[in-house]
Amino acid sequence: MKSALKAQDKPRLSTLRLIAAAVKDRDIAARAEDRCCGCDEAEILAILQKLMKQREESADTYEKAGRLDLAEAERAEAEIVREYLPTPMDEAEIADAAVDVVTELDAAGLKDMGRCMGELKTRYAGRMDFGKAGAKVKDLLAGTA
């Protein structure tokens, strides 16, 4: 934030302030729930993902309404938020992780789907597209992969 302030990069500064406010708000809510340490890393990742998704949805809405200037600004904010997220996993990494979890948990059928997905969510929060992972795990458990 300090370097954005010194460089007079107003879009970056406003986006970083937005992120800081969202994290602080969640931190205050966590302390109200008697969690003295505040929000954890997984919650911060969820906040960042939510902010990025909101920016992308807003950009699409602005684009449909013919406001390309506002759409561009929203996409720029989404890119700034994306810088603070871990790099997403590609298809091959998702497939490898799904195979590893199914093997480690010795999952035998679709009844183990929830257990496998829960393990993937704990290990790869913020990095994995769980829609794709769910399809891969389902294929593995059904025996079609």
| CB of 78 closer than 8 Å to CB of 70 | no
Q: Does domain 91-142 have CATH number 3.40.605.10?
A: no
Q: What are phi and psi of 106, to 5 degrees?
A: 55, 45
Closest CA to 50 of 29, 19, 24: 19
pLDDT tens for 1-54 read 899 899 998 999 999 999 999 999 998 888 888 877 777 887 888 899 899 999
pTM: 0.69
- In the chain, where the domains are located: 2-82, 91-142
pLDDT value of position 24 = 92
CATH H-level, domain 2-82: superfamily: Uncharacterised protein YqeY/AIM41, N-terminal domain (1.10.1510.10)
Q: What are phi and psi of 113, to 5 degrees?
A: -55, -45
Euclidean distance between CA atoms 97 and 99, whole angstroms: 5
